[in-house]
Amino acid sequence: MMHGKRIADVSIIVPNYNNGKFLDDFILSVIDSTVLPKELIIVDDGSTDDSLKILNDFNYLEFLQVISFEKNRGLTSALNAALEAATGEFIMRADPDDKLFANRIHRQYEFMVQNPEIDVLGCNVQYFDSLSAKDINISNFPLTHRKIERTYRHGEHGIQHPTAFVKGSVYRTYCYQEVFPGEDYEIFARMVRDGCRFANLPEPLYHMRVHTGSSTGNLKIEHIRDTFKFRDEVFGTKTGKLRIFLYYQYIVNYRKFQLHSDSLIRFWYLILASLAYPNKILKRIKS
């Protein structure tokens, strides 16, 4: 026991690059969890801000392990280094610019212990505005393996990457390929193809920060093209240019809807997102 709390056999792996201004909030959210992890492994990928100084302020935490790269090696190298260091029965992903709900570790750990047939577990997320800290909306990921598998085979994300809670034996077997962005789609698509079982918890257990510096905030159509290229390679499909263009328009306009403060402009971006991908919006409204 630590701080009077139960410790779960869970390794949290976190890649960090210049997220110093968010690290306090993130680590405090781990400390405030109802169940603590066996280890929190943060790989600093050659940050040039004050990340290492901030991480040093938390060196009193018995479960914190910091791996520091002298130079930036890229996200997949940082993730694989964390995977290699992780010793937990389960490995949980998180990003340093986000925050955990207090019951996330407990809920996902409990579900995986009670459902040993599941290899990969995600959950929904509560998006929040980085500047105002106000909640924006909640994600709507599919819950069952059948629907998650269909989503990946369709070239979309069946779980939100930083909500992944994976059997350690499975995660270490696959590792990340040296591709970015799209590394999350690629690894989980291979797991789906090979028969790994997936699930999502319906409730949001993760606060995901929406800000201009996030990966989707800087999304380019080449990134979407790469994701569909991985889909075609893994599942033997062939994706047309129109599908790639429309999906890109959907994501870009939906993110603008999340980021903008003016309600009328937000509504306009939501309309544009709906026109690009009506099924996605209809499914969200239906749910």
The pLDDT of 181-205, averaged and rounded, is 95
Lowest mean pLDDT among 63-67, 75-79, 135-139, 143-147: 135-139
What pLDDT is attached to residue 283?
63
The pLDDT of 123-129, averaged and rounded, is 94
Cross-strand partners of 2 = 5
What pLDDT is attached to residue 224?
87
In a domain, 228, yes or no: no
Cross-strand partners of 35 = 6
Looking up residue 103, the CATH number of its domain turns out to be 3.90.550.10
DSSP three-state, residue 113: helix
CB 105 within 8 A of CB 8: yes
In a domain, 132, yes or no: yes
Averaged confidence pLDDT in the chain: 91
Top mean pLDDT of 72-76, 173-177, 196-200, 214-218 is at: 196-200
In a domain, 172, yes or no: yes
Report the percentage of the chain scoring pLDDT > 90.
Answer: 71
> Between the CA of residue 183 and those of 12, 34, 92, 187, 228, what are the distances in Å?
18, 31, 16, 6, 12
Lowest mean pLDDT among 35-49, 80-94, 119-133: 119-133
Which residue segment(s) compose the domain that 17 sits in?
6-214
- What are 236-275's pLDDT values in tens digits? 999 999 988 988 888 888 878 877 777 788 788 888 888 8
- What are 79-88's pLDDT values in tens digits? 999 999 999 9
User: Total structural domains in the chain?
Assistant: 1
pTM over 0.85: yes
- Work out whether the CA dihedral 94, 209, 30, 62 comes out positive or negative: positive
In a domain, 282, yes or no: no
What pLDDT is attached to residue 284?
59
Phi-psi map region of 198: left, alpha, beta (phi>0 left; psi -120 to 50 alpha): beta
Confidence band of 141 (pLDDT split at 50, 70, 90) = very high
- Please name the helix (run of DSSP H) or strand (run of DSSP E) that holds residue 78, with its range, or none: helix 75-85
What pLDDT is attached to residue 64?
97
In a domain, 173, yes or no: yes
- Please name the helix (run of DSSP H) or strand (run of DSSP E) that holds residue 15, with its range, or none: strand 6-16
What pLDDT is attached to residue 124?
97
Confidence band of 1 (pLDDT split at 50, 70, 90) = very low
Q: Is the pLDDT of residue 199 over 60?
A: yes
Confidence band of 150 (pLDDT split at 50, 70, 90) = very high
In a domain, 245, yes or no: no
In a domain, 281, yes or no: no
The pLDDT of 199-211, averaged and rounded, is 93
What pLDDT is attached to residue 287?
54
| Exposure b/e, 25-59, CB count within 10 A at least 16 = b | ebbebbbebebbbbbbbbbbbbbeeebeebbeebe
- What are 90-99's pLDDT values in tens digits? 999 999 999 9
The pLDDT of 61-75, averaged and rounded, is 96
Rounded Cα–Cα distance for residues 273 and 278 (Å): 8
The pLDDT of 177-185, averaged and rounded, is 84
The pLDDT of 3-28, averaged and rounded, is 94
What pLDDT is attached to residue 211?
67
In a domain, 246, yes or no: no
